Amino acid sequence: MNYRIAIRPRLQVARQSPDDQTPPSLDTGVLMQLLEHIQAGGSIASACRVTALSYRHVWGLLRSAEEVFGGALLVKQRGTGTRLTPLAETLLRAQQRIDARLAPMLSSLASELETELARVVATDGDALRLYASHGFAVEALVERLKAGQFPLELRFRNSAEAVAALAHRECDLAGFHIPLGPFENEALRYYRQWLDPRRHRLVHLATRNQGLFVAPGNPKYILALADLARSDVRFVNRQAGSGTRMLLELMLGAAGLTPQRVNGFDTTEFTHAAVAAYIASGMADAGFGVQTAAQKFGLEFVPLARERYFFAVERQALDTGLMRDVLALLGSADFRQVINALPGYDGALSGQILTLDEAFPEMVSR
């Protein structure tokens, strides 16, 4: 028996009371869903249909929320439907930022709990141990594995941690990414301390675009890395150890820019989506990450690099039953179509198995 556990964060809000009484609080779980559907559909009625809640119940919840927040959440206009007020938009952006920041941690925790439960009831043997950074193609794969009832032990780790875990036989698949072009060899040299050409093989997941995230309309006209050194530009970075952070540092070095010249270089988020949500909230002007995240949050994207995402795997594990099934899924036409639907991603080679020398023919084998 396989278990599926979901952990979702939500806001619990109460207005501070001037006396000693405990003020009533509001659980915003349903409220955020309603605001999201009202924003998408332009009416309360459409949100009621999607959520299967009565009009009366929805109005009651909205009025209670407005009392707690002390302001209107909706504006109804003749002929144009219902739209969110700036207060409601701020609440939605806050929830999006929470979800983007905590999603990897909560997904890993949910996977740990699933594994523990399975072990307690002694079900179905070993699980596939997948360690990888949180990304959109990886997320698509995890969804397919769970839908197919694959026993899965998921840990979201940065690229360096994932490959190091594989070297110590702590996982079965380790996700990492290498830029195409002038920074390929330097990036690969970093991971080669854990990868053995005789022991490991690479499984291609996707090729994807990396670049700058900027606000809609690009009001500060940020077009290149050099613009990050401007005093009027606030930047938000990925965490140290991530492959995206390493690529950015390589590119900055090639452009003659030091991290100290970038305002906000030490402000970090754990995922591409969290970086995009941070910018969408107006807390920064620019970030660096994959195109899909920028488009998901309505941001402009300035492409700067192309990279390949691989899973490293033990050569001897390729012939095991579970791994064969996973590889078949990765190479299927259906899964490649899913990858191709992600903005900036190319899944044409998904599932291809390579030696390190085949993947990187210009590197000299050790």
What span, in angstroms and rounded, lies between the C-alpha atoms of 335 and 329?
A: 7
Q: Tokens 């690229």 correspond to what residue? A: 159
3 state SS of 305: strand
- Maximum separation of any 2 CA atoms in the chain, in Å: 72
- DSSP assignment string, 325-362: HHHHHHTSHHHHHHHHTSTTEE-TTTT-EE-HHHH-TT
What span, in angstroms and rounded, lies between the C-alpha atoms of 333 and 203?
A: 16
Please give the backbone phi and psi of residue 359, each rounded to the nearest 5 degrees, phi first.
-70, -35
User: Token pair of 325, please?
Assistant: 């099934």
Contact 201, 173 (CB under 8 A): no
HSE at residue 100, side-chain half, CA atoms within 13 A, is: 26
User: Token pair of 44, please?
Assistant: 């309360």
What span, in angstroms and rounded, lies between the C-alpha atoms of 77 and 90?
A: 20
This prediction has a pTM of: 0.78
- Among the listed residues 294, 290, 240, the one whose alpha carbon sits nearest the alpha carbon of residue 265: 240
3 state SS of 235: strand
H or E segment to which residue 175 belongs: strand 173-179
Q: Over 271-299, what HEC string results?
A: CHHHHHHHHHCCCCCEEEEEHHHHHHCCC
**CA distance readout (Å), 122 to 109, 110, 116, 117:** 20, 18, 10, 8
H or E segment to which residue 94 belongs: helix 86-120
Per-residue pLDDT of the chain (366 residues; tens, 9 = 90+): 566 667 777 777 766 666 655 556 677 778 888 888 888 888 888 888 888 888 888 888 888 888 888 888 888 877 667 888 888 888 878 777 777 777 767 766 766 666 666 665 555 557 899 999 888 999 999 999 988 888 888 888 889 999 999 999 999 999 999 999 999 999 999 999 999 999 999 999 999 999 999 999 999 999 999 999 999 999 999 998 889 999 999 999 999 999 999 999 999 998 899 999 999 989 999 999 999 999 999 999 999 999 999 999 999 999 988 999 999 999 999 999 999 999 999 999 999 999 999 999 876 444
What span, in angstroms and rounded, lies between the C-alpha atoms of 98 and 156?
A: 17
Q: Tell how far CA 78 is from the center of its chain.
A: 39
H or E segment to which residue 315 belongs: none
What type of residue is 219?
P
User: Token pair of 347, please?
Assistant: 């899944």
